Structures are given as C-alpha cells and as structure tokens.
Amino acid sequence: MGTAPSPRSPLPLFQEASQWFRRAQASLLGAIPCSPGCCDCCIGIFPITRLDVLELHRGLNLLPPARKRAMVTRAREQVARLETAYPALRSQPGLDGWADASVDDMVERFADLPCPALEADGTCGVYQFRPITCRTMGVPVESDGMVHGACNVQTAVPVIRPSRSLKTDLARLAEEEAAALSILRRADPEAGDELLLPFGFIEIAAQLPRQE
C-alpha cells in the first residue's frame, strides 16, 4: 500500500514536473537563467488546469490567514478587471468553450498582471504548490520547427533538443496530467479543464472536487 502524500508536500505529479526541470537544467549546463529572486515569468496571466487549482488551494490553505487573504484579494481584483473586459467570463470562466484566439487575446491584453502569489521581494508565496507550467517554464525546446518554453530573460533563444530520456519523461508527464484531468472531468463534466490563473485563487476554484 502506498504512503499518502504529506499535506505540506506537492502531489506526486507536481514533484515529477520539478524533478524533470532540475534534470533539464543540469543537462543544459547553465543555459537556463533561472535564479532566486528572478520573477520575470511571474508577470502575465496564462491558463492553468483544474489540477493546478487543487494544488494551489492546498498551498493557500497552509498559509497564515492574512497572507492568504492578501493573495485572494489580489486575485479578486484581477478577476474583476478580466470580467469587465470580457463579461462572458462571469458565466463561463472555464476556458474550454473559448476560442484559442480569444484566450490569446486575454493573455496578451493582461500581460502586465503579476501572479497573485508574487510577493514584494520577488518570491512566490505558494512556491511548493505552484502550477506545472511554472515548474517547467524556461527550457527552450524545438517542436515542429518552433521554439517554445523559453523565458523572457533569455536574450537569445537557443534551439535545444532535449535528450531522448528527457523528451520521453516530458511526454509521460503530459500523459499523467491528461489522465488525472480526465478523472476530474468525469466527476464534474461541466467545469472544464482550464481557467485563467487569477480565477484559480478564488471561490470558483475552491468549489472544484477534491483530489483523493
């Protein structure tokens, strides 16, 4: 029988994502510029999955009440701005029904919004419970002739082809994420798989089913 994960530790899928990034960072011999205090990739909104939402709320619920309230307040303010610009988000916050072009427009229009968990000193207030995108960002890889995954701090984007094992592990991670999302989808088919980042900090996300 397996041991249940500690409530103060990331769930296994998120641990695997962090381990993959550390392996990639080591294999690229310092080409990834991530360092303590750098928070350039913490500016701007992006879609997160319902799994990310559950993990975020595990982290939020471990914070002192005042810190949690501050993050949720920042998220509420951002959600209000988003809903003012896109009123349909009030009734349809899940992104599954939105066209990709509309989601891209939201992301571009609100590219100046800092993550609600970004602290004044540039650190992440829920670092141990951050989304998978945050854990894997910064590894620039080439796929179908396009480079993606690089952070804005990089002044030149090298085309990096990960080792076979890294590519295999990344594909397996994506498969595990998809399988876990399918379980949540069966529990609540109407909720959808993705939300914009600020929505993940407020009540609509808290109402999602718990992950066992």
Residue of 71, 51, 74 lying closest to 63 (CA atoms): 71
Task: State the DSSP H helix or E strand holding residue 15, giving kind and residue range, or none if neither.
Answer: helix 12-27
CA 180 to chain centre: 15
List all residues 6 or more positions away from 156 whose beta carbon is below 8 Å from its beta carbon. none
**pLDDT, tens digit, 9 for 90 and up, residues 27-42:** 876 667 777 777 888 9
CA 46 to chain centre: 8
**pLDDT, tens digit, 9 for 90 and up, residues 131-190:** 999 998 877 776 776 767 777 666 555 666 678 888 889 889 999 999 999 998 888 877
207 pLDDT exceeds 50?
A: no
Angle at CA of residue 173, ends 171 and 176, nearest 5°? 110
